[in-house]
Amino acid sequence: MAEHFDWCHTIDRLRIATRLNDQRPAELPPLNVLIQINISDENSKSGIQLAELDELAAAVAELPRLRLRGLMAIPAPESEYVRQFEVARQMAVAFAGLKTRYPHIDTLSLGMSDDMEAAIAAGSTMVRIGTAIFGARDYSKK
């Protein structure tokens, strides 16, 4: 399966990373991966806690068919910019710390249509802004 894509943004367990590593064909470049952080500690979202980051990053960095590129998070919805920025700043600090140990790290995937300004101000290098471009999803259509 790991030959069909170039990036995985949702690594939150060593078991998943190991499986992707084992399935990545040797003739392809390493699979780019981001470690997913559950920055708002939401039960409905996947991801690790920041306290678990160093251990998982060290293990992923040792897998030869994966290339650790950075972090990804989807914070809980917040309407106030100040709170959006506070949460984004936590991720930026974690990203900077990771970058000191792994200088090739270059991706902080953080921010969506409703919080992209705060995420960019905090240092996000990748935002997901589908709603801002295409409009809200219509879940009533089947």
pTM of the full predicted structure? Answer: 0.91
| Cβ atoms of residues 16 and 31 within 8 Å | no
Helix axes 81-101, 53-61, angle to 10 degrees: 40
Query: What does the pLDDT look like over 93-142, one tens digit per residue?
Result: 999 999 999 999 999 999 998 999 999 999 999 999 887 888 888 888 76
**What structural domains and CATH numbers belong to the chain?**
7-129 (3.20.20.10)
Biggest alpha carbon–alpha carbon distance for the chain: 47
Determine the pLDDT at residue 138. 84
| Cβ atoms of residues 48 and 36 within 8 Å | yes
Helix axes 53-61, 14-23, angle to 10 degrees: 10
Banded model confidence at residue 3, pLDDT cuts 50, 70, 90:
confident
3-state secondary structure 42-83: CCCCCCECHHHHHHHHHHHHCCCCEEEEEEEECCCCCCCHHH
Determine the pLDDT at residue 132. 81
Lowest mean pLDDT among 31-40, 42-51, 89-98, 125-134: 125-134
What 3-state DSSP class applies to 7?
strand
Query: What does the pLDDT look like over 74-92, one tens digit per residue?
Result: 999 999 999 999 999 999 9
- Torsional sign, CA 125, 130, 134, 136: negative
Query: What does the pLDDT look like over 53-78, one tens digit per residue?
Result: 999 999 999 999 999 999 999 999 99
Determine the pLDDT at residue 126. 96
